A and B are shown apart, each in its own frame.
Chain A
């Protein structure tokens, strides 16, 4: 290839991708699937919240001040994390994709920086409070559960926290890469 005109000629030789026969139908179905997906996610969150509250009353956690504080703390931080995620997803959803690229890029950059702040500041605090709540509940687990089940809770708790930290690290890495690419 000697010059850019050759590159352009080669590019034009690529041949167009044929549009699918049922393209419009696919797009309508995908749009509906996305909306249904959001509805399902919201329903799952509502059910989870309901179950946690039922569990709170079922184990009569309100009779013990320390257990009430511990369980409330765990439930509260889960809700805060979910709320932060919903706000973040809504922000991304409301970014206008029809804006010119420079404005869009700036908005996207602000969005990723905000997400990064959430991951660096709020998520570790949330995780810390969750761990505090979990540790506060341990004596109650020890008192009321068999030794085997108590050990299982101890191990699974550690595994869940480790996985959480690993996922947090992965997400931060991914968001940092996005910012780096956008700033190029």
Chain B
């Protein structure tokens, strides 16, 4: 969702592309890493290729259905906050965007390092910096 600025149909299309690649490459999975890390790698790389279509990405005007029903009263406020959050994530570089989205998804820093091909320490430092940057941007 983060890569698609909350646009659910685009997120679904992207998810479908990821699973097509997983399906196609399943025989090449060597169990060097866990299957989840392997799938996350394919996901991040598919999203990276997707930036070619970045111009077509529009901010979603609607909240995900679940959220809409849960917070009917504060809908507008929530909508603005989400749009602001997506906007701030979108301002990050491709690497930083991938790292923070993986962090938001709850991945361990070690796993993020494996997905990104970076050292654990480098990821730790970067996450600290991106968190600060993102918080500052969202507050504005």
A-to-B contact residues, CB < 8 Å: 1, 3-4, 7-8, 10-11, 13-17, 20, 23, 26-28, 30-31, 34, 96-105, 108, 174, 177-178, 181-182, 184
Are B19 and A102 in touch, CB under 8 angstroms? no
Are A1 and B49 in touch, CB under 8 angstroms? no
Option from A13, A15, A100, A174 in Cβ contact (under 8 Å) with B52: A174
A contact residues around B138 at 8 Å (CB): 1, 7
15 contacts between A and B (CB under 8 A): A3-B135, A4-B135, A7-B138, A10-B81, A10-B82, A15-B67, A28-B23, A31-B23, A98-B25, A99-B45, A99-B117, A101-B95, A102-B116, A181-B94, A184-B95
Are B67 and A14 in touch, CB under 8 angstroms? yes
The CA-CA distance from A105 to B114 in the complex, in Å, is: 14
Are A101 and B45 in touch, CB under 8 angstroms? yes
Residues facing A in B2-54 (CB within 8 A) are 8, 11-12, 15-16, 19-21, 23-25, 28-29, 38, 41-42, 44-46, 48-49, 51-52, 54
Interface size class of B (residues with CB under 8 A): 35 or more
A21 to chain B, nearest CB (A): 13
Are A14 and B64 in touch, CB under 8 angstroms? yes
Closest to A93 in B: B24
By Cβ-Cβ distance, the 4 closest A-B pairs, closest first, are: A100-B117, A15-B66, A102-B117, A4-B131
Closest to B43 in A: A97
B129 to chain A, nearest CB (A): 11
